[in-house]
Structure 1
Amino acid sequence: MTDFIVDLVAKSLLWLQGLVLAGLVSCLIVYDVQFARTLPVALWILVALLLAAGWLAAVLARRKPRTSVVAATLIVNVGVFVGLRQELLPQTSLTVFVVAVPLLGMALLPRPWPTISVLLMVLFVVVPCVITGVWPTTLADVFFDYGTLVALVLVIVVAALGARALRRHAARLSAAHRAREQALSRVTDGKMLVDAVIGTVPTAIAVYDPEGALLLANPRAHEVACHEGYELASPAEPINSGGVFAADRTTPLRRRDRMLQAVVDGTELAPTLAWVGPPGHQRAYIRSSSKIARPDGSALGTLVVAEDVTEVLHSEQMRHDFLHTVSHELRTPMTPLIGHLDLLSERVAETDPGAQERIDTIMRSVDRIMTRVSELLTAADIRMELQLKPTDVAGLVGECVRDARPAAAKRDLTIRAEVADAAVALADAGRIRQAVSELLGNAVKFAVEGTEVLARCDRVDDEIRIRVSDEGPGMSEVEQHRAFDRFYRAPMAHRDAVQGFGLGLSVVHNIVTAHAGVASLAPSAAGGTEVTIRIPAL
């Protein structure tokens, strides 16, 4: 990039040439009038050639403002006076003033040209005196000639320092300007990216400033707001009542629970499910709004988000309906089958022992099928109804441990219970028994043969805690994360052909959640797995 001072000097060279010409003419006039002498023809030719060269160099420098070109032009101008210096020696001070003009321009150029300018100024005065042996003889001449030289040198030095400071300041301004341009470019690019992202995602997104003015929104947000009866740009002025219903799809939501009402009220809306739209064309959205704050805590705006979960809920409902239908369809033919097997067993028990053994095998298989059907029904029961009453949970755990001992003995496992004396909760005893039995059954299935399964029940503050741990192979972090998902089976269960649908822990989770409790899973102290149930104590 061209130095702006070099460019300025280059653009001033034509004016400088005029000053040089004027100064030269003045010198010649003084020379001619005072001394009544005429310059030799050869000197006139030299002066003309040098002036022509100066003008040509000035034109070239204006078109190509490079430091070297501009410096060469200034040196050509100095050369004009070098050619006349001998003849104009009696008028030394005047020629010094004239030659100072191009040298001052040279002082404004980048280093090393200011130094060269000072040297040329000194040499212009001193060298002719050395060559001719003519030096100022009086004090007045010394003061006038060399005082003028010193003053001009100081002017050149000051000009060079000023140009240097000006360049530094210009460099800082240029850097600041580039930084602003880069920042503006980043902001522009960031806005384009944000607009592209929010315009592409299926989630409805809208952002408002602290005064409730709309800053940005994607098309999906306009669509959802329209269904709710609002215009995004005017959240305080609903255009109609809209069709917004609670999770049951029939109860209309109050106005204060609408998506944009939080913007008007200056509050936040926790993630809530709502069905939006007319009956038969409803869409389900998880809607929320949250405040956006700057690092210093001052309000920046409000973010409103609505995520379409219609397909997820429809898929969940279809899976629930499928499980419920399949479970009932399987249980219906199994009931008469069990009854006929009981009758058949009574008739052949005494007459044909071999047939009885085969009937018992069939009955065990039927029992396994009924167990799986019961699991499916429990998994399908997403709205679990409980019969709550004060229940001795510790006693239930002890009973479940006793019931699980025969199955544990078949795998050479020791199963032990550690229960507190008082662990009472308002619970459905049948469901709690089912949950604990599921945990013990899993532990017996996956524990290493010859190890111990431990079931503990105690009261901690205001909750009952049930823990079942084994010394099995344990579970990876990914397996722990998915353990409570319906139909999830760990890779080891597939590898070892362990029977089951992968519904046991899912059933436990549903039962505990229905009791307002929490089920969690973690590695046991013995290296296996420990499942913990927490439910409110009575």
Structure 2
Amino acid sequence: MGVLERTRFTALSGMQVTLLIATLAVYAALGALDVAVTHAVWLTAAIVLLLAGLVASFTRPSDGRRAAWTLGVLLADIAAITMMRTGMLDSISTISLFAVLPIVWLAGGFPRWGALLGIGSAVLLGVVPRAITGEWVTGRVELLQESLPTVALVILAIATNVGAQAFQRQRDLLDATLAAKATAADDAADRSALSRSIIDSLDLGIAVFAPDGTLRTANAAAHRFAELEGIRLATPRIRAETVPVFQSDRHTLLPDDERVILAAAAGVERTTRTVWVGGPGNQVALSKSSRHVVRSDGEMMGTMLVTREVTEEERSRQMRHDFLAAVSHELRTPLTPLLGHLDLLADDLAGDPRSRRLDVLHRNLERLSDRMDEIAAASEVEPQPVLQPADLAALVTVAVARRSAAASRRRIAIAVDGPTSLTLRADGARLTRAVDALIGNAIKFSPDGSTVVVTLRGDADAVELRVSDTGPGIPADEEHLLFEPFMRGRYAHENAIGGFGLGLTQAMGTVRSHHGELRVHSPDDTGTVAVLRLPR
């Protein structure tokens, strides 16, 4: 039996004791006042019935019988009070008011049909004693006085039942609300546990710091990566046992104030960077970044630290770099003297018809030299640009001069439109290669005798380079592959246009490292427009 049920039966027992004491008190008062009781047997029977109800109220029935048991005790109380009124009809006819407690319990404790029980009990209290004794009232005043207690009990039963039903509805609503909240809480707990399990199973380290720098949450991988640096996520700071961290070259120490883990704890965002942790021979490469976590209303919840081990990736990148560098060197070493001797032969055979054969050799060797340049560019590891003052107009001039010979052989003009100086902060060497790749692509895919237009523009925030040609354009099904390494379209294959398909890939890498934008598209399915935009 629950606490609520025990409380109800305790209250029921208390009511029985109250009714019994009140009845005995009335009986004693009548005796003290020498008031005659014409039907004493009914009063005695009432006391016996109340005693039986008291005993029954202390009994604890099984779960399925509690409601019926309580109803039986209450109806016994009504019967006892009816007997009391029958015995005291000539002396205290208003004794029926003793039925207030059981009628209230009936009407309130059984909301569905308690009103009928209460009304029926009130009416029986008024009618049954008169019917038993045969003493009916005849006068209007007496009838009114006789009816008032009954009417009062009926009203009380109705009001109590209405209130009980309203209370039951509110309770049902509250129970439904609490059940829904409990279900939602369980679902949220399940989702949280599932999310935690998924996050903990990842090799990706995720930690979130509150705005005040305290650690809110972190998965196992985040703790493991922090321990590689000798730093505890709960109290991130430099200690004596802190492991040295090197920049991407694996030799230059990373300043403490540039450690991403400390920046995240301080609420500072850091772009993704690769660092090497540990001494020579035992280094681990980690890719780290930090970013703010913001609610939908714009309020910052904290800063998230994301760490990923990239040791194998970096070693593969280094192997690729070493291989391409070796290939480029071995092929360029004999190529340079070949080009030099061809120039000397061209001078010796000036005006000789055989010099045209030298022109063929020279063009193909230059083509091979361009491929070597692409391989050399692909072999370079440039994780971070070195930003210095640069002039985009001057870089365009260099690229145009380098491509002018190839363009003139096909009678392609290069028109440059824009200011003579357009400064920005950039990595000049990398940006030169990107500009050269865009202009070189335009020349390769332009028809003979056409014009490549290079347009320069700038404002207070950014500079823009636009390279336009009148070539075949880019098929719609190839646009999403433009910046993939070694991507060469159908037109390049069908027309034997040389190249490894690395130019746009490297140009996009340069633009992204400068936090810029590069778009290549074909307006109206004719020609190609490449737009490079960089912050100043």
TM-score, with normalisation over the residues of structure 1?
0.71
Q: Deviations over 1:131-178 (max 9, x none)?
A: 987433467754653232233334334433443454355445535544
Q: Does 1:35 align with 2:38?
A: yes
Note the aligned Cα RMSD (angstroms): 5.7
398-407 or 276-285: which moved more?
398-407
Alignment partner of 1:468 is 2:471? no
Over 3 Å counting, the alpha-carbon distance change for 1:421 and 1:179 in structure 2 is closer
Question: Among 523, 527, 532, which residue is 2:521 paired with?
Answer: 523
d(CA) in 1 for partners of 2:97, 2:323: 106
Partner of 2:483: 484
Q: Contact 1:259–1:288 at 8 Å: present in 2 too?
A: yes
Shift of 1:488: 3.2
Matched with 2:328 is 327
Q: 1:188 to 1:262 in 2, by over 3 A?
A: same
CA distance in 2, matches of 1:378, 1:220: 35
- Whole-angstrom CA distance in 1 between matches of 2:254 and 2:478: 39
Q: Which moved more, 1:20-29 or 1:159-168?
A: 20-29
Q: Is the 8 A contact 1:283 1:310 kept in 2?
A: yes
Aligned to 1:439: 438
Partner SS for 1:250: coil
- 2:202 and 2:97 map into 1 onto residues whose CA distance is 75
**Against the structure 1 CA distance between its residues 360 and 523, is the aligned structure 2 distance closer, same or farther, given a 3 Å change threshold?**
closer
Give 2:415's aligned residue: 417
Q: Give the secondary-structure state (helix, strand or coil) at the position aligned to 1:502.
A: coil
Contact 1:372 1:500 in 2 (8 A): yes
The answer to whether the 8 A contact 2:40-2:87 is kept is no
Structure 2: state its 5+ residue gaps. Answer: none
Counterpart-to-counterpart distance in 2, 1:199 and 1:382? 33
Q: Which moved more, 1:2-11 or 1:497-506?
A: 2-11
* Contact 1:439/1:468 (<8 A) preserved: no
Matches within 5 A, 1:81-480: 93=93, 96-125=96-125, 127-128=127-128, 134-137=135-138, 141-142=142-143, 144-171=145-172, 173-175=174-176, 177-178=178-179, 180-182=181-183, 184-236=185-237, 238-262=239-263, 266-271=266-271, 272-290=273-291, 300-332=301-333, 368-382=367-381, 391=394, 393=396, 397=400, 400=403, 403-404=406-407, 406-407=409-410, 417=415, 419-420=417-418, 422=420, 438-443=437-442, 454-461=452-459, 463=463, 465-470=465-470, 472-474=472-474, 476=476, 479-480=479-480
In structure 2, what is the Cα distance between the partners aligned to 1:111 and 1:25? Answer: 32
Alignment correspondent of 2:63 = 63
Aligned partners of 1:16, 1:535: CA distance in 2, in Å? 88
Tell me the distance in 2 between the aligned counterparts of 1:424 and 1:52: 107
The alpha-carbon deviation at position 502 of structure 1 amounts to 1.0
* Alpha-carbon distance in 1 for matches of 2:331, 2:206: 46
Which 5+ residue runs of structure 1 have no aligned equivalent? Answer: none
Please tell me whether the aligned partners of residues 205 and 219 of structure 2 are also in contact (alpha carbons under 8 angstroms). yes
Are the equivalent residues in 2 in contact too, given 1:10–1:65 (CA < 8 A)? no
Separation of aligned partners in 2, 1:13 and 1:127: 26
Contact 2:293-2:302 at 8 Å conserved across structures:
yes
Cα distance in 1 for partners of 2:24, 2:430 equals: 118
State the AA in 1 paired with 2:499: G
Identity %: 28
TM-score relative to the length of structure 2: 0.71
Between the aligned partners of 1:175 and 1:130, the Cα distance in structure 2 is 49
How far did residue 113 of structure 1 move? 2.2
2:244 partner letter: G
Offset at residue 48 of structure 1 (A): 9.6
Residue-by-residue CA offset, 1:175-233 (whole Å, 9 max, x unaligned): 55445534543553354245324422223333344554433333333333333333333
Structure 2 contact 39–86 (Cα < 8 Å) conserved: no
